[in-house]
Amino acid sequence: MHAIENNIKKLNLRIESACKQYQRNPSTVHLLAVSKTQPAESLANAYELGLRLFGENYVSEASEKMHRLPGDIEWHFIGPIQSNKSRFIAESFSWVHSVDRLKIARRLSEQRPNDLEPINCLIQVNISSEEQKAGISSENALTLAEEIMKLPQLTLRGFMAIPSPTQSLENLENDFANMGQLLRQLHTFCDTADTLSMGMSNDFELAIKHGATIIRVGTDLFGPRQQQK
Ligand SMILES: *Cc1c(COP(=O)(O)O)cnc(C)c1O
């Protein structure tokens, strides 16, 4: 059996068992295959095994892979967004997880072609680590949400978080719980907010416990990353 096939089986078992343990409906937890640094062949493998959601962090790398892979893949941009790369993201991705400022949100809305559905947008929240630069504070996230809701070519779907990996399990759980709380607050004034993108290879069970609807898995799906960009 191919390594990726084996990995997908193991992941599905972990997801199923977490859903059972935490009383989540498995159809509400989506596996995003985080494919940064992985060759297009590995993505094609995962595609053949049924995966359709792929997450990429770098624009140039994503553009190389996209035209070598089937057209019905749902591409998610999950990396830091540079202003000069926003057009490609607006034109080529279905989802963007890493919106953390209004300037970028406005550019994405302006650059999203009118013949495409609005791009699904998540606000990245800097939930735990002081040293982390990406993400808006949770205090300011709802204010940014109100502004993003006014933009015609964006559909605000919820939040994304990358908690600090070095902290205690208790703090990590606290971060995930706070994200769940934040989504519930957003949902009181935003009907389209139904998504929490959180949980990676090492911690997605805990994220599922606290309401993750997209888990972003790289290493435990594709194996160790290739040379970092
Ligand atoms: C690389 C990456 C992941 C995947 O992490 P793994 O620990 O390899 O599963 C998830 N989310 C983001 C934003 C990433 O950059």
- pLDDT tens profile 128-183: 866 677 999 999 999 999 999 999 999 999 999 999 878 899 999 999 999 999 99
Cα 153 to middle of ligand 1, angstroms: 27
Which residues have any ligand 1 atom within 6 Å of their CB? 34, 36, 57, 78, 162, 200-201, 216-220
Give the mean pLDDT of the chain: 95
Pairing relationship of beta strands 195-197 and 74-77 according to DSSP bridges: unpaired
Beta bridge partners of 54: 33, 75
**Residue 159 β-bridge partners:** 123, 196
Indicate the residue type of 112.
R
- List of residues 6+ apart from 128 with CB closer than 8 A: 163, 164, 167, 171, 172, 175
Contact 55, 32 (CB under 8 A): yes
**Residues 5-14, mean pLDDT to the nearest whole number:** 98
Q: Which atom of ligand 1 is nearest to the CA of 98?
A: 13
- Tokens representing 125 are 């929240």
Determine the residue of 31, 200, 219 to mutate for testing ligand 1's pocket, defined as the one with the most ligand atoms within 8 A of the Cβ atom: 200
pLDDT over 70 percentage in the chain: 97
Q: Note whether 28 and 207 are within 8 A (CB).
A: no
Q: How far is the CA of 122 from the centre of ligand 1 (A)?
A: 16
- Mean pLDDT (whole number) for 106-121: 98
